[in-house]
């Protein structure tokens, strides 16, 4: 088995895939991009230009329409297609995982995937997470926070940006899409910095894991 080499940027759920699309435009060609969603139509549409691989999950459970903002349902969709998700780990030493917390797929399927990756043990995982707007669902933030904690326990490093905080420093008549683009900018520099370190360590995920453990506190302060 050849593990510990490649770098992947993986988006799970609607916002995660949208963010991945934005990030994929300026990525280095060595980083391959994958979009994972329970809403099959949206990922196929998002990938009209074929820039990423697309994986629809949970066809039976989510009827190809989504996870209804239910993380339990998102989790079950991921488990139903476990082998497809496990295959993403082949030949991979570093994963950037873009998840927008607050719905069913990113939170639930995202958690299932991080569990799979952390039990493989030899892949470094960097979480690029966003928290939802507080005005959205009544229990949205609480549910998002619950899943954030569960997911973070399987990550080597977490970078989390709050949509609310980004909205507060919104400039003038910025559209929501422009704001979503702006939110990805710090993630872009995290991808650049960490993938350079990975190269420097000879693409050795275990060395990178040690390095990221030291960096965690700094990342939390910075973002």
Reading the block at residue 142, the tokens are 């609480």
Interface residue with ligand GTP, options 11, 56, 132, 205 (CB under 6 A): 132
Reading the block at residue 125, the tokens are 């995982």
Is the Cβ–Cβ distance between 149 and 119 less than 8 Å?
Answer: no
Would the CA dihedral through 48, 144, 88, 96 be positive or negative? positive
Task: Between 167 and 203, name the residue whose CB sits nearer to ligand GTP.
Answer: 167
> Residues near 5 by Cβ (< 8 Å), separated by ≥ 6?
91, 92, 93, 203
Q: Can you point out the beta strands (E) in 70-212? A: 92-100, 124-131, 157-162
CB-closest chain residue to ligand GTP = 103
- Any contact of residue 110 with Mg ion (CB under 5 A)? no
Task: Between 15 and 205, name the residue whose CB sits nearer to Mg ion.
Answer: 15
| 4-33 footprint of ligand GTP as x/- string (CB under 6 A) | ---------xxxx-xx--------------
- Any contact of residue 163 with ligand GTP (CB under 6 A)? yes
| 73-102 footprint of ligand GTP as x/- string (CB under 6 A) | -x-------------------------x-x
Interface residue with ligand GTP, options 143, 183, 190, 212 (CB under 6 A): 183
Rounded Cα distance, 112 and 94, in Å: 17
Q: How far is the CB of 43 from ligand GTP (least distance, A)?
A: 10
**Which position has the token pair 């872009």?**
188
Secondary element (H or E) of residue 9: strand 6-12
- Any contact of residue 58 with Mg ion (CB under 5 A)? no
Secondary element (H or E) of residue 33: strand 31-37
SS (H, E, C) 164-177: HHHHHCCCCCCCHH
* Phi and psi at residue 26, to the nearest 5°: -115, 20
Task: Between 98 and 209, name the residue whose CB sits nearer to ligand GTP.
Answer: 98
For residue 159, what are the β-bridge partners?
A: 128
Task: Between 39 and 88, name the residue whose CB sits nearer to Mg ion.
Answer: 39
Task: Between 52 and 124, name the residue whose CB sits nearer to ligand GTP.
Answer: 52
Q: How far is the CB of 6 from Mg ion (least distance, A)?
A: 27
Q: Which residues bind ligand GTP (CB under 6 A)?
A: 13-16, 18-19, 38, 66-69, 74, 100, 102-106, 130, 132-133, 136, 163, 180, 183
Q: Which residues bind Mg ion (CB under 5 A)?
A: 14, 39, 66
């Amino acid at each position: 088995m050849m593990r510990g080499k490649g770098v992947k940027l993986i988006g799970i759920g609607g916002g995660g895939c949208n963010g991945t699309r934005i990030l994929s435009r300026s990525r280095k060609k060595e980083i391959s991009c994958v979009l994972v969603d329970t809403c099959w139509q949206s990922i196929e549409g998002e990938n009209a230009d074929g820039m990423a691989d697309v994986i629809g999950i949970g066809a039976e459970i989510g009827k190809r329409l989504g996870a209804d903002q239910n993380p339990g349902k998102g989790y079950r969709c991921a488990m139903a297609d476990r082998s497809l998700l496990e295959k993403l780990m082949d030949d991979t030493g570093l994963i950037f995982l873009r998840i927008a917390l607050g719905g069913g797929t990113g939170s639930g399927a995202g958690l299932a995937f991080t569990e799979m990756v952390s039990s493989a043990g030899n892949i470094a995982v960097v979480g690029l997470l966003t928290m939802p707007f507080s005005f959205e669902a009544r229990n949205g933030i609480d549910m998002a926070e619950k899943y954030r904690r569960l997911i973070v326990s399987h990550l080597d490093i977490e970078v989390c940006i709050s949509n609310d905080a980004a909205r507060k420093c919104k400039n003038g008549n910025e559209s929501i899409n422009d704001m979503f683009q702006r939110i990805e900018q710090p993630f872009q520099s995290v991808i650049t910095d960490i993938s350079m370190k990975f190269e420097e360590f000879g693409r050795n995920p275990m060395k990178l894991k040690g390095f990221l453990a030291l960096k965690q506190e700094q990342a939390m302060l910075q973002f």
